[in-house]
Amino acid sequence: MKDKKVKQDLENEEQVQEAPEVVEEAQPEVVESPEQAKITELTNDLQRTRADFENYRRQTEVQREQYGEVIKQSTIAKVLPLLDDIDRAIKAQPEVMGPLAKNFEKTLKSLSLEKIEPAAGEEFNPDLHNAVMVEGDGDEETIAEVLQPGYYYEGHIVRTAMVKVAKN
Residues 67 and 120 in one domain: no
Residues spanned by the domain of 50: 33-111
57 and 100 assigned to the same domain: yes
- Do 134 and 165 touch, CB atoms closer than 8 A? yes
pLDDT tens sequence across 37-92? 999 999 999 999 999 999 999 999 999 999 998 898 889 989 999 999 988 888 89
Determine how many CB atoms are found less than 10 A away from the CB of residue 152: 15
CA distances (Å), origin 3, targets 22, 26, 44, 100, 148: 29, 35, 60, 114, 106
pLDDT at 31 over 80: no
Confidence check: pLDDT of 1 > 80: no
Question: What is the domain count for the chain?
Answer: 2
Contact assessment for residue 168 and residue 136, using Cβ atoms and an 8 Å cutoff = yes
- Residue 75 belongs to a domain: yes
- Does residue 78 lie in a domain region? yes
Does 57 share its domain with 125? no
The one-character DSSP state at 123 is B
Residues 80 and 48 in one domain: yes
143: how many CB neighbours lie within 10 A of its CB?
20
Instruction: State whether 41 and 54 are in the same domain.
Output: yes
Mean pLDDT, rounded, of the chain: 84
- pLDDT tens digit string along 16-29? 444 444 444 555 56
| Same-domain status, 68 and 95 | yes
**How buried is residue 161: exposed, middle or buried, by Cβ count under 10 Å (0-12/13-18/19+)?**
buried
Helix, strand, coil in percent for the chain, rounding step 5: 60, 20, 20
Q: What is the CATH number of the domain that holds 119?
A: 2.30.22.10
Within this chain, do residues 98 and 116 fall inside the same structural domain, yes or no?
Answer: no
Regarding whether 162 and 135 lie in a shared domain, the answer is yes
